[in-house]
Amino acid sequence: MLKSLADWLTYLESLHPKTIALGLERVAQVKQRLNLNPDFPVIIVGGTNGKGSVCAMLESILHAAGYKVGCYTSPHLLDYNERVRISKKQATDAELCASFEAIESVRGEIALTYFEFGTLAAMQCFIEHKVDVAILEVGLGGRLDAVNVFDADCAVVTSIDIDHIDYLGDNREQIAFEKAGIFRAVKVAIFGDMDMPEAIRTQAGKIGSDLWCLGKEFGFISHQGQWDFQGRLSARKALPFPALRGAYQLNNASSVLAALDAQKEKLPVSMEAVRRGLVEVTLSARFQLIPGKPALILDVAHNPHAARSFAANLAALPPAGKTFAVCAMLKDKDIAGVVDALKNQVDIWLVGSIDAPRGASAVELEQVLHKANVKEVLCFANATDALHHAYNLAGENDRIAALGSFYTVAEVMRARGLRSV
């Protein structure tokens, strides 16, 4: 049997001919063979953007309330262990290997993808550790995503925008239908954006979910450095802003408090725990500001919706000199949409290639930038070379923004010797 986590991960990559193979039949069969039936509440979080922030805030608040929390997110930045956390600590290599071995011992002839294998392993870890609650982040879509093999006691959809069109559709209604697949009959389903596609309401009504929407069943008011939450079951006043940057984080935080309302009978949470959890929450590479001269900003923004939020955050920062964008992206993303969202906030683009099957070349990015009438573009073999050149060009009052994908930010973090938070 394989001994190291690195060996296991290499093996998992070879098991299925496709990196992404949506569908629940195979993973459900292995789940049944393993008898993975959690007896604790499960909160599933989907959406185009904001999933990671919602998972991080839920985890932080529930941990502050004294619960043993299992949290499964993806993808990782530097180490696979980031994906599986128990009590806010990453699972060890030995724990992950033991879970992989348990799955391998029962799957037989069933081919699982890397993500499907990892999803089952995460739940195996959570059951083994007897967690009080599990938070599962959807990998892609919702209806056919591996995490949906588990029934959500509460489901959160953060936002809907165009992304992964090859798998989910090319309009918001089709994508919303896929995301709403994590809803369950009778259970609370939360939608955390003011702009709700009709498919969210339709799917919730069809299966009998109790739908709570931002701006209707719950909402927030921001005032003088604090904010108030008003939900269907509770009101929480004079809350601190989340430690995560960006005005849109109040949408995410409100969705989190609505989800906690939905689970208040099983998982009561005090005001003290809410305040502490909001203040102490951390999440790498979501408008993460690394102090220095020049300052470095990390953000995995890889679609137009996320890029617009990133641009708004840049505009809200104190005035600086020039902004250098170190950017590398996957070619199946809406590169033109990301460029359009950010071009007015960036002075010089330094683009690199991603050495992966879906990676776009620097030349491909350069062509998109020139079509958008961006003049100052420099091409490099990779994000590391682009970053080094950015530091050579930038003055101490300038800032460098690294963005475009998890690949890009991970490469930049390694080049600067940074760790995930």
The CATH superfamily label for domain 288-416 reads: Mur ligase, C-terminal domain (3.90.190.20)
Q: pLDDT-derived band of residue 166, with 50, 70 and 90 as boundaries?
A: low
pLDDT above 90 (res 385): yes
Handedness of CA 292, 293, 299, 305 (dihedral sign): positive
Q: pLDDT-derived band of residue 67, with 50, 70 and 90 as boundaries?
A: very high
pLDDT above 90 (res 125): yes
Amino acid occupying residue 311: A
Q: Is the pTM of this model over 0.85?
A: yes
Residues 127 and 96 sit within 8 Å (Cβ to Cβ) = no
Q: pLDDT-derived band of residue 17, with 50, 70 and 90 as boundaries?
A: low
Distances (CA, A) of 292 to 137, 295, 297, 397: 32, 5, 10, 9
pLDDT above 70 (res 296): yes
* Residue-level pLDDT at 270: 98
Q: pLDDT-derived band of residue 74, with 50, 70 and 90 as boundaries?
A: very high
Mean pLDDT, all residues of the chain: 95
CATH class of the 5-280 domain in this structure:
alpha beta
pLDDT above 90 (res 161): no
Q: How many residues appear in the chain? A: 421
Cβ contacts of 86 within 8 Å, gap of 6 or more = 68, 69, 70, 71, 125, 126, 129, 131
Distances (CA, A) of 156 to 54, 56, 136, 272, 343: 9, 13, 10, 23, 32
Nearest to 115 by CA among 22, 222, 228, 233: 22
Q: Tell me which of 32-46, 167-181, 225-239 is least confident.
A: 167-181
pLDDT mean over 399-408:
97
Task: Please state, for a pLDDT cut of 90, what percent of the chain lies above it.
Answer: 89
pLDDT above 80 (res 167): no
Main-chain phi, psi angles of 382, to 5 degrees = -160, 175
Separation of alpha carbons 83 and 79, rounded Å:
8
Residue ranges, CATH 3.90.190.20, the chain? 288-416
pLDDT above 80 (res 1): no
* Residue-level pLDDT at 141: 87
Main-chain phi, psi angles of 375, to 5 degrees = -90, -45
The first and second tokens of residue 241, run together, are: 């802003």
